[in-house]
Each structure stands twice: as C-alpha cells, then as structure tokens.
Structure 1
Amino acid sequence: MPDHAPSADGDRLRGQREFLRKWSSAPEQAAQRIANARVLVVGLEPWGASAALALAGAGVSALRLIDGGAVGPRDVAVVRARGEAALGGPRRGAVAALIREHAPLCRVDESSSAALEGGDLLSPEGRPHLLVAAVRGDDAELLERVARFGHRAGIASLFSHLAGTTAVLGPLVFPGKTACRICATTEALNPSLAARSLAEPAPHAGTMGQLLGHLVAMEALKVLSAYTPSRLGGRFLIQDLATLETSHHTLVRLPWCKVCGEG
C-alpha cells in the first residue's frame, strides 16, 4: 500500500474523505494512500480504459499505461470524447490524453508491452503499488508476461476480462501468498475460465466494458486505500452483466505453476 506521506492536496480529497468516512475509522489516512498511489495498467480494452479514467478521477498520484492496441468502435470512452476521428489511432495515447484533460493532477505515462521486460517500471520513484491487468482472456502470451512481471517484482496484481456478457473480476494476486492468474488456467483443479474467455463479444461490449471497468476501479481502491478488505485474494468474481447473477470462486495455488510455483 502507498506510504502515508503528507500532502498539500487540500480540497481535492474532500469527496474521497466523505466517502471513506462511511467505511473506515481512518478516512484521512485512506484518502492519503489513494493520493500517493501509483498504478500500472496493462491493457486498455474498454474495461481497462474505464478503470484507468476512474482511478485518475479518484485521485491516484500516477498511472502508467501499457497497451499496443488501436482505437476501435468498442472503445467507447475514447470514441464518445473524440468522435470517429480517433478510430485507428494508438489507444494508449488517446486514453492518456483523456486522463490529462479530466484529471490533470494525475501523472500519466505510456509504454508498449516491451516495458514489462525492462527495469524502468521498478525504479524507486516509479514503482507501482498495484498492477491492474485488463487483458483479453484469450491473450495467453500477454497474460503470462503480466503474471511473470507481477510475481518477479512482488507487486499485487488485479486481473479482469470480459467474455460476451460475462465479467470476470480477479484474481487479486499477492505474490507468494495466493494463486496467480496462470494457476487459474489449470482446469483439473481450478474453476475453468477458458470457455468464458473465448465467448464472442456482446453487441454492447463497449458499454459492458465500462461497467466492468468501474468494478475494477472500486476493487483497486480497496487494495490501495485499505478502507475495506478485498475478498478477491486468490479468488475471482463472475457476474453476468445481463442478469446480474454473481458468484465467487477460490483458486488453488499450484506448486508446479510455471509462474508462481516453488519448483
């Protein structure tokens, strides 16, 4: 969690304090953790962009956006703000521009996925307090790279994806303590995410992505501020966004996992 360093944010955190006062016995400290937080967002699918914008609006100190995609029709946060002229442009640049416009006090940087193999992300002044992974569930190669980075760096990681009308939030991974996202791919012992990952995009995938993005941001704020405990450590939540049917599933940490295993 972020340090409790003093801040001159003043009224900028008033709304956060009022919200946190209803949940926490120490709202000032929780709000300050948010104000000091640095978050790494890998993947700017619609839910990732929505989460990044929400976290910036909530007052986090800095965001690093990693993405290699182009703006498409389902990237509703960008298209609504910039119109069809934005289509085809770099997604991370478009989302970064929106954050700078709507949350100018949040420092935002952009990188390609190659940054996951470098050391710049872990510099003392830029090391993230949380990794938020908003990667398509069928992008196995990128999911493994993200999981390896989080495990190697010892950074808590919150995964999410959207498959059809089904939102999957989690797992929240605490390296060395809980099952990782790659453990979740072993269907013999863990609940299967594979079928959900391969579902066709829903007609309103962009709007549903925004809904999932808000869930991601709220869960991230729990981790960053500690205003209330997260229930997703080593677990994931599945919600049908059409019916709102919701379930929780616990993952088994696998000793032979190629990312977090002990062997």
Structure 2
Amino acid sequence: MHPILKPALRRGWHDLNTVQFGMTPAHAVVLGPVDTATGSFLNLLDGTRGVPLLREQARRMGLPEGHVDALLKRLTDAGLLDDAAGGGPPTEEPRARTPETDRLRPDLAALTVTTSEPAEGVRRLAARRAMRVQVRGAGRVGSVVASVLAAAGVGHVDVRDGGCVEPWDVAPGGLPAQAVGERRDVSARRVVRAAAAARPPRPDRRKGPPGPGDAEHPLSLVIVAPRDGLAVHSPDPAAAQDLVAAGIPHLYAGVVEATGVVGPLVLPGGTGCARCLLLDRTDRDPAWPRLLAQWSSGRAVPVQPCDIGLATAVAGLAAAHALSFLDGELPASTGARWEACAPGLDWHARAVWPHPDCSCGAGEGRNGQETTADDEPHDTMAG
C-alpha cells in the first residue's frame, strides 16, 4: 500500500491541533487532536512511499513505535486515505497518465470523495468500462444522457431511436446541428463515440445486435428517455415489458409540458414500475385511462414543449443518477420520480409505490400503499 491523503479534499486547520479535510458538510471530516509532529508527518502521505518507508521516516521524526499504523487506521476509518498503487491489474489503465485517462481525472477525484475504502474510487472507475448501457430515445434529453455516460467512462453506450434528426432535436452535448436529416440512432452513436474518453472494442455485428436479455452482453442499465411528452408523463408499461421480464434495471427521464422528470429507477421485482404507476393513478382517478386514450389518439403536438435549459438539467441529473447506480449505490430516484416545473424549477420527489395488482411482483404481500401529493391538476375553475 502507498497511502495518500485524498487530494480532492482541501485541508485546513481550525487551530494548531485540529485539522479539517474537505469543505462541504456531506464529505468534510474534522480530525483532532493532532500534535505538531503528526501534522508534519501528514505531508509525507502523498502516495510516493510504502508503509515500511513511512514507518522508518516516522522513527526519524521521533514518533513512537506503532504510531504510523494507528494513524493510518484512523485515517482509513475516517475515509480520508487512498492507495496510490491499489486496486490490482484492472486499475492500471485508469491510473496511467494518457490524454484519454486525463479526461477522466475529475471523475476519479469525485469517486475518491464519495467512497471510503482505499482504491475503491479507481476500482469503480475501472468497472465502468465493462458496463453496457442502452439509451432509448435520442432527443434533447436522451442524446445528452448518452454522451455524458460515455464521457464518464462507461464503456458501451448504445442509443436506440427511429426516424431522422429534426432541428428541434439539436442540443449542446447531444445531436449537433449538422446531423439534421440523418437517422437519429446513427447520429447519436457518433456523438457517443466522440464523447468517449477511450473507445471500447467494437462488438461483433455478425452476431446481430445484443438484446436486453443477452447473457453474453448483459445490460447494466437502460435509460428510457422518450421524445414524446405523453410517454414521459405516463410511461407505457408495454414499452418496458421486456426489461421487467429480463430483470433489467431502467431509469426514466424526460420533459413534458415544461416539467422535467427523472425517475423512477425501476429495479424489477423490487420497486414500483411503469405499470405500478399506471395502476396507482387509476386507483386515485378512475378517469385516468380515458384521459390517456384521448391524449394518445388525439391530434399530435407538432413540436414538444421542451426548453433547452430544462432538458439539459434533466439529462445531467439523469446521467448522475445512472452513474450512481452503476457505481453500486441507490440514488434518490430509486422508486421515485423527481420533478421540476418551469419557471420555479423546484425539484421534489413523488414516490412510485409497488402496486399489489401489478404482475412485476414488487407489490406482492402489500395490502395498502402510502401516498404522496397527487398528480391531478389544480382546479382553477372552481368557485
């Protein structure tokens, strides 16, 4: 082990014997008491020395026997210590100083902040390269989500959509203006390749495109980012039936009538799915299926209301939630929809509870369900 104090956490002294690592309340740690000799020794924890050499230098500084091991344990338990040489062979590439890995250095620094075990951050970054994510939808939200995931080190990002790029599909970080008229999926995949820090091996197209349940190329996550506002507001359960059946986690994201939506992140069999959401809304409003039928069969909206600022915010939040899940955490969108409405843009969560009548199995044994604020519009006509 080559101990290094996490460089991403700024260091400051409250007084001669109390040191703080990090600035934000979520990740800051205050350590004390720290004597003058130990404070000087902290400067040696820069990743260039192994533990035996650190012990030898500590003796030369007059520190007592066993002090180094006790200090390293204390720092490790506080989540302040990283290992500059840990993680094994899979982490050798992310650690190498190349133009490609330099692009991921901010991501690695962030992972060191959010993980506590030494070398866990670089292990998670290395693991992203083997993951396969599918994005369904290449509009202002989906194309940006796909490019962000590729730029964050996710090795295989596939985009699925039909039709050709329209001028209103163009977005910074997503489909470029010169792509108008091209096939959406082809253009989005080109954007993903350009955003990727390192290009993964090309898949063998002779075997055909891998499916959701492909054992050889399992999907780690699917992002459902429809361009149609109705599919954002009330996701079609049939569209995700293959994902639920295959047990593939999927996250919804999009914009509907100037309202941004991120979630739910569906863990099949464990959290509420699109059908659970539909059944719950129908329980609370028997007219809901009738409204859906009218919205879906009525005159289509020629251009969806999806302003670029909100779409970019939704794409960024969805990508961040996706990366959190891929890194082994459960983000706040797990079983919940986060929504923000223009112009106030106040993000709030609505729980998506498993429904006991849904075939996904998440609501088995559930007699009742908690409820939060309803989804019905306010009646402004009432006297």
TM range (shorter): 0.7 to 0.9
- Equivalent residue number for residue 323 of structure 2: 221
- Equivalent residue number for residue 239 of structure 1: 340
Matched-pair contact (CA < 8 Å) for 2:255–2:311: yes
- Equivalent residue number for residue 178 of structure 1: 271
Matched-pair contact (CA < 8 Å) for 1:133–1:146: no
* Distance of 1:64 and 1:221 partners within structure 2: 15
Structure 1 position 125, deviation (Å): 3.3
Say which SS state the counterpart of residue 218 (structure 1) adopts: helix
Say which SS state the counterpart of residue 28 (structure 1) adopts: helix
| TM-score, normalised via structure 1 length | 0.80
* Distance of 2:139 and 2:284 partners within structure 1: 25
Larger Rg: 2
- Equivalent residue number for residue 159 of structure 1: 252
Map 1:42-81; keep pairs closer than 5 Å: 42-77=136-171
Matched-pair contact (CA < 8 Å) for 2:268–2:362: no
Map 1:129-148; keep pairs closer than 5 Å: 129-135=220-226, 136-139=228-231, 143-148=236-241
- 1:37 maps to which of 110, 131, 139: 131
Q: Which amino acid aligns with 1:149?
A: D
Say which SS state the counterpart of residue 239 (structure 1) adopts: strand
- 1:90 maps to which of 179, 183, 187: 183
In structure 2, stretches of 5+ residues that fail to align are: 1-87, 365-383
- Equivalent residue number for residue 356 of structure 2: 255
Structure 1 position 161, deviation (Å): 2.0
Q: Which amino acid aligns with 2:224?
A: A
Aligned residues: 249
Q: Which amino acid aligns with 2:264?
A: P
Say which SS state the counterpart of residue 224 (structure 2) adopts: strand
Q: Which amino acid aligns with 2:181?
A: G
Q: Which amino acid aligns with 2:158?
A: R
Matched-pair contact (CA < 8 Å) for 2:272–2:335: yes
Matched-pair contact (CA < 8 Å) for 1:180–1:260: no
- 1:16 maps to which of 107, 124, 143: 107
Matched-pair contact (CA < 8 Å) for 1:74–1:206: no
Identity of aligned residues (%): 23
Larger RCO, structures 1/2 (Cα 8 Å, 6+ apart): 1
Say which SS state the counterpart of residue 56 (structure 1) adopts: helix
* Distance of 1:80 and 1:219 partners within structure 2: 18
* Distance of 1:125 and 1:161 partners within structure 2: 30
Matched-pair contact (CA < 8 Å) for 2:145–2:315: yes
- Aligned-residue RMSD, C-alpha: 3.4
* Distance of 1:5 and 1:128 partners within structure 2: 24
In structure 1, stretches of 5+ residues that fail to align are: none
1:102 aligns with 2:195: yes
Structure 1 position 88, deviation (Å): 2.6
| Cα 1:36–1:93 shift into 2, 3 Å | same
